[in-house]
Structure 1
Amino acid sequence: MKYAIITGASKGLGEAIAKRLIQEQIAVVSVSRTENMEIKSLASEQGMEYKHFSCNLSLEKEVQEVFMEIAHCIFQKDPKEILLFNNAGVIEPIQTVGNLDQTPVIRNIQVNLIAPMLITNLFFNKAQLTNTKVTVINVSSGAAVRSIEGWSVYCSSKAGLNMFTQTAAIEQAEMQTNNKIIAFSPGVMDTNMQETIRSSSKEAFKDLEHFKEFKEKNMLLAADVVANALVDLVLSDSVENGKVYNIKELLK
């Protein structure tokens, strides 16, 4: 059986990915601070294995403890493949450099970059002792390759995630494992993160009005549309190791 681990599964893209994977008869492990009961009900209706773990991804000790438990639970079942979606992310702080507060800066790097690095490292390590293939999908952003005023921390953490993905892919290929790791830029979606962006100040975020227009003109992608395109790619067996995929190329 295939297992999927999804961080930030309680809402937005993570929720949509979880629901689609359950429909595909893939066992789901949800990781977020709060549980989404719709996902739990859907898994029950479909007769699919499902488990939720609460975890604050900004606390590295908690990340290590929770994901060690998850790894133990899954690997002992000798699964065919594990799909690891490092989806959870935070946009804050939205502020210019010189006016940043230390705490949200550290939290952003912990959630967006350090947690995915630690989790990926753990699962690649465990996979060395088994026949299980691990496919890692790191949810990145267009901000990883484009400087956006007010988003210095977010841009930096996502750029770091892309580089980590590409480097880890080279290493796995060199070691001739079956594992793959990719990054995925989901575009501008209609999620809570966009609400946070629209509630920021013009002083902190120069492009505020532009992002408000996305909503007003119905230009935001629905989370389920993005999730379906990503899951289609991951299940197609045509994933190119180390590639940073963009939603635009998947929706052509």
Structure 2
Amino acid sequence: MSSLVWISGASAGIGAALAASVPYDDVRVIDLSRRGGGPAEHFKADLSDPADWARVEQHFREELTGYDGERVVFIHNAGTITPIGPADGVPGDEYTRAVLLNSAAPQVLGRAFLRAIADLTCERHLVMLSSGAAKTAYAGWSSYNAGKAAVEHWVRTVGAEQEERTGGRCRVIAVAPGVVDTAMQSEIRATDERDFPTVGRFHQLKETGALSTPAEAAAGIWSVLNRDLRNGSCVDLRDL
């Protein structure tokens, strides 16, 4: 096995498209998700549950102990837009789950991956999926907006750490794929304007054919790994 790739949320959407289009030969692909059922081997984990973060960390350690392949990649794709609505008007349990999944899980799992690869000498990449929502404050998306902003600043910080402390032992980057025609987009368009005042823009994007496909997004994300980007870069596929 020359490459080992983890993709969180690879059971559907962009994650499944990433798993189906890994551009390496002799590769093992592992999906970290609750449901599984996509094109990759499945490690069952609820990434909104801190207890499962510990299980994923142990899984990383076990799989990478003695690893002698050419490349290790972790693409953290899992996230949720639910619940959509004003922060003071959505269910507390759903909101807590979204904050854990969107904000905390990327940092905790990213740290766990970096710890697990610390002694390896092969090619290593940690890729966090971001969004234009990291920079644009969409009313009704507070947990999602804040989560993506946290991901980008974590990447900037940890990318700098990797460069300064280890000479770039692992390249850490964030990639925003643009607006992609996934189940999340369907959920957004089904939202009442009272909960998401900008919903009309997303109807227009669908009607005008402005959405990219998951396969297009996946191809763009994989291509970023071949670009000469500095550690800690946060890029948008629409700007490349």
Question: Under TM normalisation by the shorter chain, which class is it?
Answer: over 0.9
Counterpart residue number, 1:45 = none
Counterpart residue number, 1:183 = 174
SS at match of 2:87: coil
Conserved in 2, the CA contact under 8 Å of 1:198 and 1:208? yes
The TM-score normalised by the length of structure 2 is 0.93
Is 1:224 paired with 2:224? no
Deviations 1:198-220 (A, max 9, x none): 11111110011221122222211
SS at match of 1:77: coil
Counterpart residue number, 1:88 = 78
Counterpart residue number, 2:30 = 29
SS at match of 1:10: coil
Q: Which runs of 4+ in 1 moved over 6 A?
A: none
Superposed displacement of residue 22, structure 1: 6.1
Q: Tell me which amino acid in the other structure corresponds to 1:146.
A: T
Is 1:62 paired with 2:52? yes
How far apart, CA to CA, are the structure 1 residues paired with 2:184 and 2:10? 14
Conserved in 2, the CA contact under 8 Å of 1:137 and 1:183? yes
Superposed displacement of residue 110, structure 1: 1.2
CA change 1:107–1:171 in 2 (3 A) is same
SS at match of 1:134: strand
The counterpart of 2:191, out of the listed 187, 190, 200, is 200
Counterpart residue number, 1:47 = none
Give unpaired runs (5+ residues) of structure 2: none
Deviations 1:44-63 (A, max 9, x none): xxxxxxx3101100001112
How far apart, CA to CA, are the structure 2 residues paired with 1:71 and 1:79? 15
Conserved in 1, the CA contact under 8 Å of 2:60 and 2:116? no
Give unpaired runs (5+ residues) of structure 1: 41-50
Conserved in 2, the CA contact under 8 Å of 1:21 and 1:27? no
Superposed displacement of residue 24, structure 1: 4.6
Superposed displacement of residue 92, structure 1: 1.3
Deviations 1:168-201 (A, max 9, x none): 0111111124211000111110001001111111
Identical-residue share of aligned pairs (%): 26
Is 1:240 paired with 2:230? yes
How far apart, CA to CA, are the structure 1 residues paired with 2:132 and 2:42? 30
Is 1:215 paired with 2:206? yes
Q: Tell me which amino acid in the other structure corresponds to 1:82.
A: V
Deviations 1:128-180 (A, max 9, x none): 22324431110011000011111112111110110001000111111124211
The TM-score normalised by the length of structure 1 is 0.88
Counterpart residue number, 2:43 = 53
Tell me how large the CA RMSD over aligned residues is.
Answer: 1.7
How far apart, CA to CA, are the structure 1 residues paired with 2:204 and 2:168? 45
